[in-house]
Structure 1
Amino acid sequence: MNRSKILGLAIVGAGAIALSGCASIREPSGYIVDATLLQSVQPGIDNEQSVVGTLGRPTFESQYGEKTWYYVSSTSGRKPFVRPRIQQHSVLAVKFDQAGNVVSTEQSGIDKVVYLSPDGDATPTLGRERTFLEDLFGNIGAVTQPGVGPGQ
């Protein structure tokens, strides 16, 4: 091979390596979705035990209201040195009755994702703002003696 062909191949190789560094990085997280398993959960037939056996433990459970298990899956993509963005997102909500039987299942996608951007550096709260010195010396004299005060 002559010298110009070797130099040309080296430049093409270096360009390919440089471009591969700019490729998007896919990062899956959460529950790994299997469409066959999702369709196998049937309202009126399955209960908590069978759902755990089929889908595994949920990503999280509802704390208030009717008992609901959520299976959350996301795939984000990002280029190097850029903040990741969600490309795919799905949530399977399995609702149960008081006896632990499946009442309904609902699947939602990326259309329900909300992007929040905070407003400013501080979250507004009720009450007055205190200075550093007020925080530092504010409790002097407010501490009661042992055995004296509320709940004693």
Structure 2
Amino acid sequence: MKKLILPVLLAAFIGGTSACTPTIDNRGNLPHPEDLAKIVAGTTTRDEVQVLLGTPSSSLNYGDESWQYISSVSETTAFFKPEVKDRKVVSINFDMQGIVKNVTYKGLNDGQEIVLVDRETPTAGKELGILEQLMGNVGRFSKPSSGGGLGQ
């Protein structure tokens, strides 16, 4: 019996410590610096950027077009909320002719936290209780239509 206790305690200790090991998640598409160096503002076209860097993570089409290549590294320990350790964003802006206007780089410190509003928009209508929802259609039968439905 005593010989069994030590291996069980050792296995529990190893299992417990390995459960608390953080998981690292790499997400996104960050282009290589050599490829980014080939992009020249005023001469590189949208198609050339597509060939060099691939499909962007996100694109904006408000007036001048903008492509974003986003990469992030997050760490999750056990059941806790993931913590973002690093984020890099490369933004490429194009003019109306599809030529690169400028390339900007942003990191984790450049981001801003968005505060969500927790208000609810009121809607018109009656709130039904659970019994009203369950029993609401009892006794309501639709009349058969004369427009050539099933069974005619």
User: Same-fold call, TM > 0.5?
Assistant: yes
- For residue 79 of structure 1, the aligned residue among 70, 73, 77 is 77
Q: Structure 1 residues 134 and 17, CA, compared in 2 at 3 Å: closer, same or farther? A: closer
Distance across 1 between alignment mates of 2:96 and 2:25? 37
Alignment coverage as a number of residue pairs: 127
- For residue 133 of structure 1, the aligned residue among 126, 129, 151 is 126
Local SS of the residue matching 2:43: coil
1:33–1:73 contact (8 Å) kept in structure 2 = no
Identity rate of aligned residues, in percent?
Answer: 21
Shift of 1:32: 3.7
Shift of 1:117: 4.4
Deviation sequence 1:17-47 (CA, Å, 0-9, x none): 3212101111122214422222322212311
Q: In structure 1, list runs of 5 or more residues that go unmatched.
A: 136-152
Q: Structure 1 residues 118 and 97, CA, compared in 2 at 3 Å: closer, same or farther? A: closer
1:44–1:102 contact (8 Å) kept in structure 2 = yes
Shift of 1:88: 0.9
Shift of 1:51: 0.4
Structure-1 residue corresponding to 2:97: 99
Q: In structure 2, list runs of 5 or more residues that go unmatched.
A: 129-152
Q: CA RMSD in A?
A: 2.7
For normalisation by structure 1, the TM-score amounts to 0.68
Local SS of the residue matching 1:100: coil
Partner amino acid, structure 2, of 1:133: K
